[in-house]
Amino acid sequence: MLKISELAAKTGLSAHTIRFYEKHDLIRASERSEAGYRYYNDSDIRRAEFVKTARNIGFSLEDISQLLSIRVDKTSHSCQEVTDITQHKLDEVNEKLSELESMQNTLQILLKSCCGGPEKATHCSIIEALDAGAVVKNRSAA
């Protein structure tokens, strides 16, 4: 049985965050001391670590909530439900990756074009490019 600060130490989540997750029904403390202190048993701890792992991977709290309800009643859920959540997350990640790669590309091109020196910015090609509407929407080999 761990107290909240011990669970915090074990998971790397802050006590604040653990309480916040409890509000959202992600983490549970099966027991309370007479004074109201939270106590986490092995099952609670495993659940908290599941949450931590899922969060580290990048799942949203809403995703984690769904994954948890599958986890606690596996026979009522299918592998497909799990892959749906995972695939949807992967799609999101891929979309953000595209955006970021495009930004990366544009920024690299801008940086290459500018001397970067201590000269006055009157001739700065980055400023010029922005003025000219330089949206390099290029998506080639990253």
Partner DNA sequence: TATAAGCTTAGAGCTGACTCTAAGGTCAAC
Partner DNA sequence: GTTGACCTTAGAGTCAGCTCTAAGCTTATA
Nearest approach, Cβ of 70 to Zn ion (angstroms)? 10
Burial class (CB in 10 A: 0-12, 13-18, 19+), 18: buried
Complex with DNA: residue 106 or 113, whichever CB lies closer:
106
Nearest approach, Cβ of 115 to DNA (angstroms)? 27
Q: Which does 139 bind (CB under 5 to 8 A by kind): DNA, Zn ion, its own copies, none?
A: none
Q: How far apart are CA 133 and CA 4, in angstroms?
A: 53
Q: How far apart are CA 141 and CA 64, in angstroms?
A: 34
Q: Which does 55 bind (CB under 5 to 8 A by kind): Zn ion, DNA, its own copies, none?
A: DNA
Three-point CA angle 121, 125, 130, nearest 5°: 100
**Using CB under 5 A as the criterion, which residues of the chain lie in contact with Zn ion when the complex forms?**
79, 82, 114-115, 119, 124
